[in-house]
């Protein structure tokens, strides 16, 4: 008998059907994100679009954090400030209609997809944030100025969205470390939460850039995660063994042009010395065909 009790119980448990609102201006975003004065927790997931299952996990983590009645915003903005000359700004995938669907399916309330003029109304900003020495190594060496561009837009989007929580993927380990540091050093009133990297079944880290890989390149790209897992398996033997085990996989890996393989102290984001003990990040960056990929794993060195 489908009694009143059962129906009532079902109604109480059914998640509120969420219709995501797509906004393009700060004014519309604010009206959609704070429709009334109720003080609820809110969270932001910043993206450059081309959303995939990795982003979906960030949005779900944000929803879980703020609860059923909290508010979750997803920003979609391809930020030119963080692209260097010759990088893939023009060919960066733009898939807003699908992004909105993915955001909605995973629990977002609002998507904020502003134009260039909305984010930078006075043209290229004259004043920018600097990532300092933390932004110079690893990704920063290959991409000078990249993290200054990231921080400048992240700071702007934090001001616009004013969240209690901001979610970033651990896949961009250096970005996460630098954003955390900016929040601490410059007293931003937000808690930064890192979300573990999602991988395909064969180990490939999910990334918007994977769509550029041909079938052969995709297979070749698996050397990156294999190297990281080999390094992680050697963690009990110390940093030197970690580096050697990972390097052995990458040495001569077909189709992979290594940029860096590094064992990193995650707080300062500097190379871990050979006697380093504790939590470290083993990170790799390489070109496979013309696509630059990054990946990392966390491990405990003993
Ligand atoms: O990680 C990204 O997608 C971007 O660097 C971010 C944080 C959205 C800033 O443009």
**3-state SS track over the chain:** CCCHHHHHHHHHHCCCCCCCEEECCHHHHHHHHCCCCCCCCEEEEEECCCCCHHHHHHHHHHHHHHCCCCEEEEEECCCHHHCCCCCCCCCCCCCHHHHHHHHHHCCCCEEECCCHHHHCCCCCCCCCCCCHHHHCCCHHHHCCCHHHHHHHHHHHHHHHHCCCEEEEECCCHHHHHHHHHHHHHCCCCCEEEEECCCECCCCCECCHHHHHCCHHHHHHHHHHHHHHHHHHHCHHHCHHHHHHHHHHHHCCCCCEEEEEEEEEECCCCEECCCCCCEEEEEEEEEEECCEEEEEEEEEEEC
pLDDT of residue 11: 42
CA of 85 to the centre of ligand 1 (A): 18
CA of 187 to the centre of ligand 1 (A): 20
**Would you give the distance in Å from CA 181 to the centre of its chain?**
16
pLDDT of residue 7: 36
> What strand order describes the sheet that includes 256-265?
270-271, 256-265, 278-288, 291-301
pLDDT of residue 88: 75
Q: Best of 44, 45, 47, 112 to mutate for ligand 1, by most ligand atoms within 8 A of CB? A: 47
The pair of structure tokens assigned to 10 is 């079902």
- Exposure string (b/e) for 235-247, b if CB count within 10 Å is 16 or more? beebbebbbebbe
What are the phi and psi torsion angles at 8 (to 5°)? -60, -40
Side-chain-facing half-sphere of 286: CA atoms under 13 Å: 29
The pair of structure tokens assigned to 9 is 């119980």
Cβ of 66 below 6 Å from ligand 1: no
Low-confidence ranges of the chain (pLDDT < 70): 1-17
Residue 61: CB atoms within 10 A of its CB come to 21
Cβ of 48 below 6 Å from ligand 1: yes
pLDDT of residue 296: 98
Residue 176 annotated as lining a ligand binding site: no
Cα 14 from Cα 216, distance rounded (Å): 45
pLDDT of residue 16: 58
Which residues have a catalytic role annotated?
A: 55
Cα 294 from Cα 173, distance rounded (Å): 9
Residue 51 annotated as lining a ligand binding site: yes
pLDDT of residue 4: 34
If DSSP codes are grouped into helix, strand and coil, which group holds residue 4?
helix
pLDDT of residue 5: 33
CA nearest ligand 1 atom 5, residue? 150
What atom in ligand 1 is closest to the CA of residue 75?
8
pLDDT of residue 268: 87
């Amino acid at each position: 008998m489908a009694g009143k009790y059962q129906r009532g119980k079902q109604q109480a448990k059914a998640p509120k059907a969420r219709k995501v609102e797509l906004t393009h201006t700060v004014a519309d975003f604010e009206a959609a994100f704070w429709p009334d004065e109720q003080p609820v927790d809110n969270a932001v997931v910043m993206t450059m679009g081309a959303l995939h299952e990795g982003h979906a996990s960030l949005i779900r983590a944000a929803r879980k954090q703020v609860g059923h009645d909290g508010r979750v915003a997803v920003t979609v903005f391809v930020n030119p400030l963080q692209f260097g000359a010759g990088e893939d700004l023009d060919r960066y995938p733009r898939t807003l209609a699908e992004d909105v669907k993915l955001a909605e399916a995973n629990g977002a309330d609002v998507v904020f997809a502003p134009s260039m003029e909305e984010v930078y109304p006075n043209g290229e900003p004259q004043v920018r944030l600097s990532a300092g020495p933390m932004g110079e190594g690893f990704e920063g060496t290959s991409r000078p100025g990249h993290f200054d561009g990231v921080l400048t837009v992240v700071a702007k989007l934090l001001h616009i969205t004013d969240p209690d929580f901001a979610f970033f993927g651990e896949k961009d380990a250096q970005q996460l470390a630098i954003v955390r540091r900016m929040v601490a050093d410059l007293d931003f009133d937000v808690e930064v939460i890192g979300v573990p990297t999602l991988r395909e079944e064969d180990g490939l880290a999910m990334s918007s850039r994977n769509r550029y890989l041909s079938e052969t390149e995709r297979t070749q790209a698996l050397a990156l995660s294999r190297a990281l897992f080999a390094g992680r398996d050697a963690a009990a033997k110390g940093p030197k063994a970690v580096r050697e085990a990972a390097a052995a996989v990458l040495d001569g890996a077909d189709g992979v042009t290594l940029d860096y393989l590094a064992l990193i102290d995650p707080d300062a984001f500097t190379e871990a010395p050979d006697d380093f003990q504790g939590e470290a990040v083993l990170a790799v960056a390489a070109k496979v065909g013309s696509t630059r990929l990054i990946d990392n794993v966390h491990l405990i060195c003993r």
